[in-house]
Amino acid sequence: MYIKKSRLITGSIVIVLVTAILTAGLLNPFGFTHLTQFIKVGVVSKVIDNMYYEDVDKDEAANMAIAGIAASTGDPYTRYLWGDTAKQYMEEVEGNYCGVGLYIENDTKENLISVVSAIAGSPSEAAGITTNDKIVAIDGQNYTGEQLSEAASYMRGEEGTDVTLTIRAAADGQTKDVKLTRGRIELESVSGEMLDNNIGYISITQFTENVSQKVEQKCREFKDMKGLIIDLRNNPGGILDEGVNTAGLFLNNGDVVTYTLNKRGKREDYKVDKGETGRTYDVPIVILINGGSASASEVMTGALSSYKKATIIGEKSYGKGIVQSVMGMGNDGILSVTVARYYTPDGECIHGTGIEPDIKVEMDAEKTARLSALDKSQDDQLKAAIDYLNK
């Protein structure tokens, strides 16, 4: 067969062009239909690389570009961390680091750093910092909510060193300076004791690894338990599976603890799975919540409330009804992405609204801020729970 040379050349050019377009589309983080954005990023990168008066750190440029893509979602829980900040994040998850002991988030409405809760026994709790307080400056330097990672990193440091937070109090809106001494934060996730009249009391400060096992151990220790108080106040959440497994101790095998829906409408159920020998602790239960109870705390609260397994006492919870997936990116990067909303077994998403208690018992901010040091006789919400179970 005779084929003109010009046709071969034209055909080759077409193949090269198609291949180039397909390759660019596959490599383009913005997708096939947004090649102009890909080109713009490439052009800007090249211009800076060629024209900037010093050499550009390519690794740092890549990290900051990824962080920018994460930040473009406008979601404070979707973020990219690297280097020391990523290490500090993992230390916080593991509950062992030096700092002031605060769980914080970006309040995107005001672009300020907002306190979710103070860790029990931490310098922040001792100073009375509480849920929804705003951190406006650290050591005289102003910080916005977008600078959450930088602020968190700065508040960490050598044990025994001082740091001053400028706080706008949630209670009265007044601004004040609070001087804190950094300390070793060692999170005791589960503690408890048997109260009078065989009422068990378990406090869960965060859903870290093996919390469900620790809670079950406490339940086994409480002989002849006639009622149980589960204290989730100032608990910011943690590992979703641990919240599900802990709730499962008080539900039946196969019960749906929570379910998630992603943006494509795909549903994933989180069910109780005790195995063949798992035990269900079937006693009257009260769950204590407040404005610092968030995420996995709300999963557990919502599940036990939906199945009428617990009475909820305290104040409305925080209202974080979204789930993050955390994944490693290379040697030192961590990407946290909000992947779905979660729902109670009744089909309610509490994101932005929180869970209303069955019995509302308010407590002043000063007491709420120092829960772990509060004498039980001064704890209005705990006393209400005890009275309820004694009736």
Q: Which of 38-52, 54-68, 104-118, 349-363 has the highest mean pLDDT?
A: 349-363
CATH T-level topology, domain 187-390:
2-enoyl-CoA Hydratase; Chain A, domain 1 (3.90.226)
pLDDT digits (tens, 9 = 90+) for 189-216: 999 999 999 999 999 999 988 999 999 9
Percentage of the chain exceeding pLDDT 90: 56
Out of 34-38, 42-46, 48-52, 194-198, least confident range: 34-38
The pLDDT of residue 363? 92
Band of pLDDT at residue 1, cut at 50, 70 and 90: very low
pLDDT at residue 344 greater than cutoff 90:
yes
Task: Check pLDDT > 90 for residue 309.
Answer: yes
Taking residue 219's Cβ as centre, other Cβ atoms within 10 Å add up to: 18
**Mean pLDDT, to the nearest integer, of 71-86?**
87
213 burial type by CB count under 10 A (0-12 exposed, 13-18 middle, 19+ buried): middle
Give backbone dihedrals phi and psi of 300, rounded to 5 degrees, phi first.
-65, -45
- Summarised one tens digit per residue, pLDDT across range 215-230 is 999 999 998 999 999 9
Distance of CA 214 to the CA centre of its chain: 21
Hey, which residues does 186 pair with through a beta bridge? 96
How does residue 255 score in pLDDT terms, banded at 50, 70 and 90?
Answer: very high
pLDDT surpasses 70 at 302: yes
What would the mean pLDDT of 140-159 be, rounded to a whole number?
90
Instruction: Please give the average per-residue pLDDT across 308-332, as a whole number.
Output: 91
What's the Cα-to-Cα distance from 32 to each of 16, 24, 42, rounded to whole Å?
17, 8, 15
Token duo for residue 122:
């931490």
Residue 184, pLDDT score: 86
* 316-327: pLDDT as tens digits: 999 999 998 888
Alpha-carbon distance 338 to 220, whole Å? 36
First vs last C-alpha separation in the chain = 98
Q: Which residues pair with 326 in a beta bridge?
A: 336
Per-residue pLDDT band at 169 (split at 50, 70, 90)? very high
- Which helix (H) or strand (E) segment holds residue 7: the answer is helix 5-27
Q: What is the pTM of this model?
A: 0.76
Question: What is the three-class DSSP state of 127?
Answer: coil
**What topology is assigned to 98-185 in CATH?**
Pdz3 Domain (2.30.42)
pLDDT category at 2 given cuts 50, 70, 90 is: very low
What local confidence, expressed as pLDDT, does residue 3 receive?
Answer: 46
pLDDT at 346 (0 to 100): 94
Element (H, E) at 138: strand 134-138
Out of 48-52, 122-126, 184-188, 305-309, which region has the weakest mean confidence (pLDDT)? 184-188
Mean of pLDDT values over 140-162: 91
Cα–Cα distance for residue pair 248/245, rounded to 1 Å:
5
Q: Where are the domains of the chain?
A: 5-56, 98-185, 187-390
